[in-house]
A and B are shown apart, each in its own frame.
Chain A
Amino acid sequence: MTPRVRRIVFLVAGGVFAVTLAWTFRALPSFGHFNGAYGTALSRVSVPERHITDAVTAVNFDYRGFDTLGEEFIFFAAVVGVALILRAQHGERAEHSADYATGRAVPPTSDAVRVLGLGLTPPTVLFGLYIVAHGHLTPGGGFQGGVVLATGVLLIYLAGEFDDLHGLYTETALERSEAIGAGGFIAIGLLGIAIGSALLDNVLPLGTTGSVFSAGIVPLINASVGLEIAAGLVLLLTMFLHQTIVLRETSP
């Protein structure tokens, strides 16, 4: 189809779709009046049964933990997929150096930015760890904390200290951490089978409600998810950056 025809066809079909869907949505419970048995039941039992004060975490990592296992592997597959897609083909090295030779002038990172970036890293990492560790108590958890942790590492890059990153980690180490995170979730889940119950059964002591060390396996799963997300994201961005960073270094 030519772009013009395509646009017209889409506008007609999309219009029908939008109007039909909007008309259908009028049959949804009016906004703010939802009363589902499932959600209500879960938010009533998460504290007494699981000592988890954040019901969303209780759903994600306990009652419906298996969904999260699947989601975690979507993340896993996507990161591995990026590695597959961005892998170097034969002769790509040479082609790159040709790119670099044309090197655009990149302004050197100013000292202020450098200090700011490096200075922000420790608090960001701490904040990430805090979010991961308190997933079962307050909003947050392995997914969000993992992203924050990765951001902390990236601040080092933004500060223009890419060499320092290579001192910090290698891609193999990241891959391994990611694999440990993904495999760890499964290993924790298998505990349930080991004691003769079901996969992902919360078999550890539940502790005191409100304590960081409570809620059984949930903080452990959060930690392993946090590790996977953080390692995976840093790996992801490293793979993208890998292709631009040398440009920076060769510029005067």
Chain B
Amino acid sequence: MNNLAPLPVVVPLAAAAFILFMSTVLSRRAVQLLTASCVVGEIGLSGTLLYQARALNIVYWFGGWRPRAGVAFGVSFTIDQIGAGAAVLSGVVVGIALLTVPRTIRTPNGIVHAMLLTLLAAMAGFCLTGDLFNMFVFFELMAVCAFALAAYHNDSAASLRSALNFAITNSVGAFLVLIAIAMLYSRTGALNLAQIGTSLAGRHADRLVVVALALLLVGFLIKAAVMPFHFWLVDTVSSAPIPLVIVLAGALDVLGVYGVSRIYWSVFAGTLATDSAGVQTLLISLGAFSALIAAVLGLFFESPRRRLAFVMVAHTGIVLIGIGCLSAAGVAAASVYAAADGMVKIALFLGLLLLAGANAGRRAGLMVLGLGGLATAGLPVFATGLGKATIEDAAGHAGYAWAAVVVVVAAVFTGATVFDIASASRRAPPDAPEHQKKSAWVPLAIGGTFCLAASVALTSARRGFASAAARFVDTFDYQQRVLTGTAVHHANQTPVLALAPRGVAIDVAVVLAAIAVASLLPALRRVQPARGIARASNVAHRLHAGSIGDSATWVTVGTATIMAVLLAQFR
């Protein structure tokens, strides 16, 4: 068996345990170096898997327990290019987060490093696993690391409260996932994704299957912070330490959408194949709702971090629209967009961090934010432009032209929000100068540049994304490869990811519109707002005050709604 497969998970975990063991002995620099080399190692290993999976999915059975007569005995990693790519992205994101650790984190003992490594291992495991319960385990591991890190500022009530909000909301999500696992297990007697899928395929999807799908969707969408499950994210991004915010912005929240697409294609695509319109409508509507509302709300808040949090929610909505098309083209477009946009959002947060520093850093920060704004709105040079345009195409093909319009409008507003943050901070006087080394801004600026460059470079990988997506949606191939070890001929056609002239035109128009909206905003702020708008803004602020009870209520409302909507469509 390919013994590289478990290493992206095992190496960081082993290093985390080692760092804790040596915490009193190792110097700060040694811990940083060790962590960095582990992250680089994880990227290298996942990258190798990405390459090795180019023709066939890699199936790895832990403990050597291969399936017998179609029954999976052990836990498998089932690695395709989308999964391996997501693991690479996780590594890159954690690597950049690590750049900001010396600047923002002051704890002894490398505890934060151990947590970041464990978090990375969990993200990689979540991407690579082929087993539903194993997915749940890594889902929980991600959550526990992330909310412990969210409480890092343990002298700030806001930070602690947001960590609690994060923890409780995500735990409820995890319990919903576990309930769905119990339901699917009772029906199929299986935990392996491929085996559950095979066992459900060809049979009518009754309410047990439909509700299991609904609960899994909710569980993962809570992680993805799609509306109305986004309250914890807005709260956390405003007060969590920068390294965690970067991980959340770059990969962690969008992994929730990855989870949705993984379970849909491996488990439910077979049984819902002829009847997927209900799921399509639900996912696209949820995505569009998030994209639109969050993009608008971003304009109404003051704190830059909070506003970027809304940009995150809006863009996750756009990714969900792409996935919701339930087509290879949609998956390809959404993956390009998610990867490129993750990089851009990291650049934005690095830009904010630079703005808080010395003069040279401020200039660099403004530059990063300005370019980041162009990328957020989807200038065609950036892969965000490619991704956005192809998501619009996919939505149009699936018969949801209105969703394409929503994507355009949302991108105008999120782009405008970023430009507005940049111009507002240009006017504002710099923060009280922190006592720090003059050169401290250099690594951050390099990180920001790298992220923006990466989001440009991703355009050249479009063929790779397209063929990876074609295999990702090939349910039958996925299942056969796991359960029988054989490869089936790919039935799906590889989609073409290309920027048509129309797409370029729309992208450019969006960028111009975003700049226009941003330049109008200061003038609009001076005008006394209409009563209705003022009240709406007031309500929005109160809803996002960080009440845990509110978050839990919205989770219940969302869950009940999603269950009811799906059941109604599968009568």
Contact = CB atoms under 8 A, between A and B. Distances in A.
Binding between chains A and B: yes
Interface of A: 1, 3, 6, 9-10, 13-14, 16-17, 20-21, 23-24, 27-29, 34-39, 41-42, 62-67, 69-71, 73-74, 76-78, 80-87, 89, 172, 175-176, 178-180, 182-183, 186, 189-190, 192-193, 196-202
Interface string B70-99: 011111000000000000000000000000
Given A65-B75, A183-B17, 18 more contacts: A10-B556, A13-B559, A14-B556, A16-B564, A27-B206, A27-B207, A29-B187, A38-B72, A39-B189, A65-B63, A66-B63, A69-B13, A76-B16, A80-B118, A172-B23, A175-B20, A190-B10, A192-B64
Q: Which of B62, B211, B543 has the most CB of A within 10 A?
A: B62
Q: Is the interface of A mostly helix, strand, loop or mixed?
A: helix
B1 A198 contact: yes
Nearest to B542: A1
A3 B549 contact: yes
B191 interface: yes
A73 to B, nearest CB: 6
26 contacts: A1-B549, A6-B547, A13-B559, A13-B560, A20-B567, A21-B211, A24-B207, A27-B206, A28-B183, A29-B186, A36-B189, A41-B68, A73-B118, A74-B140, A77-B145, A78-B148, A80-B115, A81-B145, A81-B151, A84-B151, A85-B154, A172-B23, A175-B23, A176-B20, A183-B17, A197-B64
A193 B14 CA distance: 15
A74 to B, nearest CB: 5
A198 B10 CA distance: 13
A198 B60 contact: yes
A40 B216 CA distance: 26
Contact of B62 (A20, A65, A86, A178): A65
B557 A179 contact: no
B125 A70 contact: yes
B21 A73 contact: no
Contacts of B249: none
A85 B18 contact: no
Given A17-B560, A77-B145, A78-B144, A179 B71 contact: no
A85 B148 contact: yes
Nearest to B138: A70
A196 B1 CA distance: 8
A67 B16 CA distance: 18
A37 B160 CA distance: 45
Given A64-B75, A186-B10, A84 B60 contact: no
B74 A24 contact: no
A192 B144 contact: no
6 smallest beta-carbon distances between A and B, as pairs: A81-B148, A36-B189, A183-B17, A179-B21, A70-B137, A66-B62
B190 A199 contact: no
Contacts of B63: 62-63, 65-66, 192, 198-202
Q: Which of A6, A71, A74 has the most CB of B within 10 A?
A: A74
Contacts of B62: 65-66, 198-200
Given A20-B564, A73-B13, A38 B553 contact: no
Q: Which of A64, A70, A199, A202 has the most CB of B within 10 A?
A: A70
A17 B547 CA distance: 21
Contacts of B74: 63-64, 66
Interface in B185-217: 185-191, 206-208, 211
B553 A1 contact: yes
B133 interface: yes
Interface stretch (B106-114, B457-465, B473-481): B106-114
Contacts of A27: 206-208
Contacts of A38: 71-73, 189-191
A78 B147 CA distance: 9
Nearest to A16: B560
B20 A179 contact: yes
B6 interface: yes
Interface of B: 1, 3, 6, 10, 13-14, 16-18, 20-21, 23-24, 60-65, 68, 71-75, 107, 111-112, 114-115, 118, 121-122, 125, 131, 133-134, 137-138, 140-141, 144-145, 147-149, 151-152, 154-155, 160, 179, 183, 185-191, 206-208, 211, 542-543, 547, 549-550, 552-553, 556-557, 559-561, 563-564, 567
A213 to B, nearest CB: 20
Given A70-B125, A70-B141, A77 B151 contact: no
Nearest to B189: A36
A17 B558 CA distance: 10
Contact of B71 (A20, A41, A73, A183): A41
B207 A70 contact: no
Contacts of B154: 84-87, 89
A69 B13 CA distance: 10
Nearest to A78: B144
B134 A9 contact: no
B75 A66 contact: yes
A198 B3 CA distance: 7
Nearest to B1: A198
Contacts of B138: 70
Nearest to B558: A13
A63 to B, nearest CB: 5
Q: Which of A41, A62, A67, A87 has the most CB of B within 10 A?
A: A67
B571 to A, nearest CB: 13
Contacts of A189: 10
A1 B23 CA distance: 45
A59 to B, nearest CB: 10
A170 B64 CA distance: 40
A36 B557 contact: no
Contacts of A10: 552-553, 556
Nearest to A61: B63
A80 B147 CA distance: 12
Contacts of B122: 70, 73
A66 B148 contact: no
Nearest to B63: A200
Contact of A66 (B134, B206, B547, B552): B134
Contacts of A73: 13, 16, 118, 121-122, 141
Contacts of B557: 9, 13
Contacts of A29: 186-187
Nearest to A5: B553
Given A16-B564, A81-B115, A175-B20, A42 B553 contact: no
A20 B563 contact: yes
A206 to B, nearest CB: 14
A1 B141 contact: no
Contacts of A80: 20, 111, 114-115, 118, 148
